[in-house]
């Protein structure tokens, strides 16, 4: 009897932001259901969240350790199939490790861990266990990101020369973390967020997107990180020159103090024969520029790549957005779980970011921080 | 013990389009679950759809009559709480009526029925039974539509003078219905779609949106309907002059032959003191124009109305789209069901379109068709 | 010895608006120079304007009659070659007639005259004298308007089906004419503006643009004109259904009370195979839509028509605007004057609006006003 | 007797591009007339250009030396008042110097000279002679650039933190200079263009714009220049990190290989309280962002600064573009010449770029090139 894939959640109590995003994304396509959770380090809050989500009390746990241990005892088909981890960064490594060690697949919010050493351990554990791991670099789930990647792979731009990727936000333009804002508090706290602030929070999305779309690897960086807001402990702005493995050059800039910007992740890629431009705030539009003119590529319109098509749900002109891109990762992960259960490899058309991508993000952070502290222009980015 | 609201679906087999939209919208906020369905007039197709949706076979029915009868026998809490109807137009009235008569609330895809007489019957039945009915004029679920309505209600534009509402599509620019396209086939077939083609399919969305946002009522129309594509049986283009109950004037145009247009529903409203503009293809932006300048109002940014806020899920700059607007109707309907169960009235802040809205849409179709056939300039729109 | 074409101006004193536009447009390409003027009905104001324009006092006249008489006495090459008329509408016919009767070519601001009878007289006089006449429907001078016309002529859209043309402004949303605003005063005064307000001022631009781009003729109209601002004497808003000679349908709307709109003249044309969209506020962009996707056509980019190319002065991305489009009419008129002097016909590639276009505009006004006053739906538009 | 200011041109034969731009810009406002020229190093070409411009043969010279000498002999009021220099970069210093030494004011196309030593000489000479000098950094002439500068000066953004300025073009994405393209040939030739390619051609516009708008000075740069097109001799792409004198950080990037880009000069400035964004390809729009929302500031709309108003010619919605911005420099220069003649200082409201701005641009080029060749991250930018 076919059934939905069963998800257990670590973190994501009702006053968190990203937990609800994951829940909506996970269930959107009817392939996954939430069956249990350890939603908070406070057992009361965890229980209350479970009830708000209509979970039976017995499947709501006080700690992730308890959840993993108890669920493991349930028969397959009843127990959760995978764990999703939506806690602050410093509580990524623990539950991921324990889940993998106990035979559960893992979906983990980005970044993979608090630091590179932890990330390396997770990568090794994923390899060792053969279990599935998805890091939610959600922006790669947009159909027009898939199309951009397809166009570049298929040579539409020729050799890539120049990449400009940006992720400006403005919400931390003042010392919001001192006002009781929980989101701001943990993201600007080295103990919970890691060595990087905005760079880790959003800069790594930009890095991941640039490498995902272009298929190139960054090999050198030259970084200027700033803390603009007095009293803040972590970077809130990053200006970074990039060099890529094929000789292309690039710029990555992210900011949390770009007053008035919302979540303007965007990328421009230029090759020998043309350019592409994509903005997450208008995600269903991909602009293809050549010297002969500009073509507006739209989700659902015309002759798109299979990759774009299988990540689209509705006809053109009905905007799909953030949740749908996020859900594409979950849908693909669900397909991979089903494939896993019959001993198949995941279909690369239905891809999702891996633990290796997560490790690369951690090393990117290390490299940028090293560059920022160096007087030498270029700092190599070692894999 | 709190539980999710339980939904049974009529129509929506896996090769239909709108069924999957409803399913995604219904479950998005974790308040509703699909528990049963009569997904197709073919019992095999219905069964197959049920399995693809991971429903138990015993809750998948061959006909809606069977579904309603069988579900009614189940104990409350196990049986469905409401029926959603996502069949072609000519199969709206039957299941709606039977559901209401058997004590089930109803969500019905638009238009409410095939014709006005049927619609009047449904309106009467809703009143009589006191049950809840939601017509999915989904575009009214967008937060920026709520904000536009709020601004106009609060007098930001002063007295409304001029309304331009448009819904151009291009997908029927050729005789697509002759190529085996199922969506095109029933929408251009008078037996299944009713007396109107594009006017009923999308023109009524424009009419509903204009009245919803402005709070005005159309009182007269002057229509020029066209069938541009040879061999087509129903209108594929409509140009309509409008007059409103406060003296405002308007234009409504919809088209299915506007080659290259996707789903460009948009509205511009001008009052004594300013104007508003909204486009469903960029739904998170509302433009407020005055002679002093232009203000871009964005979902999630700044000091928005409570109505906009409670229909928004994520921070600004992460685009919410078609599914989320649709889901707002379902979320609000779920809240109304919960209120109903404890004997409360629905909270008007969490509104959704009613059977009366559906009847009004049917009368609008009648009026426009009468106007189109008349040599007199103005045809009154009687409620 | 080659020399610049010499222009004499009627109207356009320093406190007028459109006179300065004409002067800049006329001289832009170095083909025309201003040599004399009767700038105002006040001789002092005329003199002062002449001095501000660095004209010698003896070439600044108190009346247009004086100017025409005196200039005629000067030797060819010294005297003006043509007259430009930039007075309010009621002073178009007089100087045009006198100029033509005295052998001077004429450029006239739009509308051609105060009413149709006057316009017919001018058309006849132009034919009789064989002199050159240009009506400054300036919007047809934009390169992307030329490109749109070329694409439609060359069949890129197939048979045209649907035309939406709009010209909303907001500057007369209040009774500005009562505040001492000179521009508003004469434009809303039937004695100086004619039988139409906004319809004549901007609606005829929309009519002219639609017919120019599509090559179609309007054959029937159904109009709803409004005076929204209390105390105003002429229409400030127009909603008009159109039918064209090839069976196409259309909508024309113009407004002066669309609060917050600047000069948003725009047109959308849909044919069997695609659509085109152009907006004068972003005039260097022409959008070509088909079901396969959207192409952005830009002034100066790629393989444009000769018509677009010869009306463009600078490389792509350096915006040409209102003055340059206006100047294209003058440049073309100057070329026609040079051709005239050697007995050649004007080159149709370098076109400009004619007296017949002006007469057509006057008849359009008559027809729309008749329709507005009629209870019959359609009023024929007789040439 | 008032008269127009008289201009003599060096360079700008009919097959050049920028000469015609200067001529149109200079005459646009009726304050300046072209009276003589040495349009080409070929006397025949110069003569032919003079005739095409309707100049008398005796005012068309074979060399700039001849022009300056001969014009000097003419009585004041007949002779040229100033020289405009529109030759390739290596022929800026010579005519500028000679003009100043002979008592003529100078307008010079950018860059001021071929190198810094020459620029210093010109700056000294301007100071010494007290004559007027205008460098045509034309983009500072746009009304919305004036408005942006005004807003920042008036504190609307608070302390500036972050500046992103870009000037991407795509026209040199291939080795165009090898195809006979004259514009490409001299711009990529070190002997005629100087030590920098795109950096000097367009990067200095970006530098000038950033400093002009923000009022800040760049104090350090970290540059990565590239020649992407094989066989090219000068940089065609520049990625530069910036630091400003108030602690702000920035990025400047320019490119001639950004395939499909036209002339997308654009700037974003973020301060403590808000951000501003301007793009020269949509120059009449200035976007003001704050955490409360976005305001679209438009040329001619609402309560603009005096600086914006006096650089605007027509009502809102009628796009002014490249020529008009360029003409603002000339109009202001003409006002300065008139002020000079009566012993007044120029009015700072009617400003134009100076020789010092030109020298700063040359030093910027030197600094960026030094940075590019250095392994040290930051290279100081000494005034």
Confidence tier at A333 by pLDDT (50, 70, 90): very high
Residue D1 reports pLDDT greater than 90 = no
Measured between beta carbons, the chain B residues lying within 8 angstroms of C375 are: 376-378
Vertex B306 angle, CA B304 and B307, to 5°: 100
Residue B1 reports pLDDT greater than 90 = no
Q: What is the dihedral of CA C9, C11, C15, C21, to 10 degrees?
A: -50
* For A227, nearest residue in chain D (alpha carbons): D161
Do B314 and A301 count as a contact with CB atoms less than 8 A apart? no
Measured in angstroms, the CA of C363 and the nearest CA of chain D are apart by 27
Domain boundaries, chain B: 5-131, 144-316+360-373
Q: In the sheet where D82-85 sits, what is the strand order? A: D32-38, D5-10, D82-85, D105-108, D133-135
Give mean pLDDT, residues D204-233: 98
What's the confidence (pLDDT) of residue B17? 82
Backbone angles phi, psi at B186, to 5 degrees: -75, -30
Do D295 and B292 count as a contact with CB atoms less than 8 A apart? no
What's the confidence (pLDDT) of residue A2? 86
Q: What is the dihedral of CA A188, A255, A138, A123, to 10 degrees?
A: -60
What's the confidence (pLDDT) of residue D28? 96
Give mean pLDDT, residues A70-88: 96
Superfamily of domain B5-131: NAD(P)-binding Rossmann-like Domain (3.40.50.720)
Residue C296 reports pLDDT greater than 80 = yes
CATH topology of domain C143-314: Dihydrodipicolinate Reductase; domain 2 (3.30.360)
Measured between beta carbons, the chain B residues lying within 8 angstroms of D302 are: 291-293
pLDDT tens-digit readout, B172-199: 999 999 999 988 999 999 999 999 999 9
Confidence tier at C374 by pLDDT (50, 70, 90): very high
Q: Report percent pLDDT > 70 for chain C.
A: 100
Confidence tier at C14 by pLDDT (50, 70, 90): confident
* For B162, nearest residue in chain C (alpha carbons): C258
CATH topology of domain D142-314+360-373: Dihydrodipicolinate Reductase; domain 2 (3.30.360)
pLDDT tens-digit readout, A219-250: 999 999 999 999 999 999 999 999 999 999 99
Distance of CA B313 to the CA centre of its chain: 21
Measured between beta carbons, the chain B residues lying within 8 angstroms of D297 are: 293
Confidence tier at C2 by pLDDT (50, 70, 90): confident
What's the confidence (pLDDT) of residue C153? 98
Measured in angstroms, the CA of A251 and the nearest CA of chain D are apart by 7
* For B252, nearest residue in chain C (alpha carbons): C251
CA dist A230 and C159 (Å) reads 65
Count Cα atoms within 13 angstroms, Cβ side, for A72. 14
What's the confidence (pLDDT) of residue A328? 98
Give mean pLDDT, residues A63-79: 97
Give mean pLDDT, residues C300-324: 96
Do A313 and B298 count as a contact with CB atoms less than 8 A apart? no
So what CATH class is C5-139+329-359? Answer: alpha beta
Token readout for B36 is: 């049963």
Measured between beta carbons, the chain B residues lying within 8 angstroms of D308 are: none
Is the CATH code 3.30.360.10 the one for domain B144-316+360-373? yes
Do C296 and A301 count as a contact with CB atoms less than 8 A apart? no
Nearest to C377 among B161, B226, B374 (CB): B374
Nearest to D294 among B291, B296, B303 (CB): B296
Nearest to D293 among B291, B292, B298 (CB): B298
Q: Report percent pLDDT > 90 for chain D.
A: 96
CA dist C45 and C42 (Å) reads 5
Residues of D with CB under 8 A from a CB of B: 291-298, 301-303
CATH: 3.60.20.30, 3.40.250.10, 3.30.360.10, 3.20.20.70. Which one for A141-313+360-373?
3.30.360.10
Measured in angstroms, the CA of B62 and the nearest CA of chain A are apart by 20
Give mean pLDDT, residues A139-164: 98
Measured between beta carbons, the chain D residues lying within 8 angstroms of B291 are: 301-302
Residue D14 reports pLDDT greater than 90 = no
Backbone angles phi, psi at C120, to 5 degrees: -65, -35
D286 sits in which H/E element: strand D285-290
More confidently predicted of C182 and D338 = D338
What's the confidence (pLDDT) of residue B15? 73
CA dist D222 and A101 (Å) reads 47
Confidence tier at B34 by pLDDT (50, 70, 90): very high
Do C262 and D315 count as a contact with CB atoms less than 8 A apart? yes
What's the confidence (pLDDT) of residue C49? 96
Measured between beta carbons, the chain B residues lying within 8 angstroms of C174 are: 272
What's the confidence (pLDDT) of residue D15? 73
Nearest CA-CA partner of A119 in A204, A39, A189:
A204
What's the confidence (pLDDT) of residue B2? 86
Do D291 and A170 count as a contact with CB atoms less than 8 A apart? yes
Nearest to D292 among B291, B292, B302 (CB): B302
Q: Which residue of D260, D286, D291 is the best one to mutate when testing the A interface, meaning the one whose CB has the most A CBs within 10 A?
A: D260
pLDDT tens-digit readout, D338-363: 999 999 999 999 999 999 999 999 99
Nearest to D28 among C28, C53, C301 (CB): C28
What's the confidence (pLDDT) of residue C376? 98
Residue C254 reports pLDDT greater than 90 = yes
- Contact between C331 and C349 under an 8 Å Cβ cutoff? The reply is no
If 0-12 CB within 10 Å is exposed, 13-18 middle and 19+ buried, where does residue D344 land?
exposed
pLDDT tens-digit readout, B59-100: 999 999 999 999 999 999 999 999 999 999 999 999 999 999
Do B251 and C250 count as a contact with CB atoms less than 8 A apart? no
Residue C1 reports pLDDT greater than 80 = no
Distance of CA D229 to the CA centre of its chain: 26
Which single residue is written with the structure tokens 């539950």? A95
Token readout for B322 is: 């078609």
Nearest to C301 among D169, D262, D317 (CB): D262
Give mean pLDDT, residues D154-176: 98
A7 sits in which H/E element: strand A5-10
Do B296 and D297 count as a contact with CB atoms less than 8 A apart? no
Do D228 and A161 count as a contact with CB atoms less than 8 A apart? yes
What's the confidence (pLDDT) of residue A368? 98
| β-pairing verdict for A218-226 and A105-108 | unpaired
Token readout for B117 is: 């007489």
- Conformational region of residue A247, where left means phi above 0, alpha means psi within -120 to 50, and beta covers everything else: left
pLDDT tens-digit readout, C191-222: 999 999 999 999 999 999 999 999 999 999 99
Residue C83 reports pLDDT greater than 80 = yes
- Contact between A218 and A237 under an 8 Å Cβ cutoff? The reply is no
What's the confidence (pLDDT) of residue A15? 73
Residue C64 reports pLDDT greater than 90 = yes
D26 sits in which H/E element: helix D18-27
| Interface C-D: count of C-beta contacts within 8 A | 112
- Contact between C291 and B260 under an 8 Å Cβ cutoff? The reply is yes
């Amino acid at each position: 009897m076919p059934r939905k894939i069963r998800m257990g959640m670590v973190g994501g109590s009702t006053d968190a932001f990203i937990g609800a995003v994951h829940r909506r994304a996970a269930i959107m396509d009817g392939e996954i259901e939430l069956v249990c959770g350890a939603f908070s380090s406070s057992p009361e809050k965890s229980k209350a969240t479970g009830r708000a989500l209509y979970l039976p009390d017995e499947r709501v746990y006080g700690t992730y350790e308890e959840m993993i241990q108890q669920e493991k005892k349930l028969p397959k088909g009843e127990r959760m199939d995978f764990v999703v981890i939506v806690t602050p960064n410093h509580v990524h490594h623990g539950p991921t490790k324990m889940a993998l060690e106990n035979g559960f697949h893992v979906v983990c919010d980005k970044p993979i861990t608090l630091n590179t050493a932890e990330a390396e351990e997770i990568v090794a554990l994923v390899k060792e266990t053969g279990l599935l791991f998805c890091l939610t670099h959600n922006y790669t789930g947009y159909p027009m990101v898939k199309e951009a990647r397809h166009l570049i792979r298929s040579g539409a731009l020729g050799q890539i020369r120049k990449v400009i990727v940006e992720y400006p936000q403005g919400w931390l333009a003042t010392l919001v973390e001192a006002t009781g804002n929980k989101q701001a508090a943990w993201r600007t706290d080295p103990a919970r967020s890691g060595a990087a602030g905005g760079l880790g929070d959003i800069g790594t999305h930009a890095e991941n997107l640039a490498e995902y779309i272009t298929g190139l690897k960054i090999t050198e960086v030259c970084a200027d990180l700033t803390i603009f807001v007095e009293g803040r402990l972590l970077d809130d702005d990053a200006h970074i020159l990039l060099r890529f493995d094929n000789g292309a050059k690039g710029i990555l800039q992210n900011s949390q103090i770009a007053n008035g910007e919302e979540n303007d992740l965007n990328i421009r890629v230029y090759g020998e024969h043309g350019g592409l431009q994509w903005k997450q705030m208008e995600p269903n539009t991909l602009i293809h520029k050549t010297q002969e003119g500009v073509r507006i590529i739209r989700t659902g319109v015309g002759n798109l790549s299979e990759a774009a098509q299988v990540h689209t749900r509705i006809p053109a002109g009905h905007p799909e957005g953030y949740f749908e891109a996020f859900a594409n990762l979950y849908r693909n992960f669900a397909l991979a779980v089903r494939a896993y259960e019959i001993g198949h490899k995941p279909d690369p058309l239905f891809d999702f970011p891996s633990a290796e991508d997560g490790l690369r993000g951690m090393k990117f952070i290390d490299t940028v921080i090293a560059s920022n502290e160096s007087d030498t222009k270029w700092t190599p980015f070692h894999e």
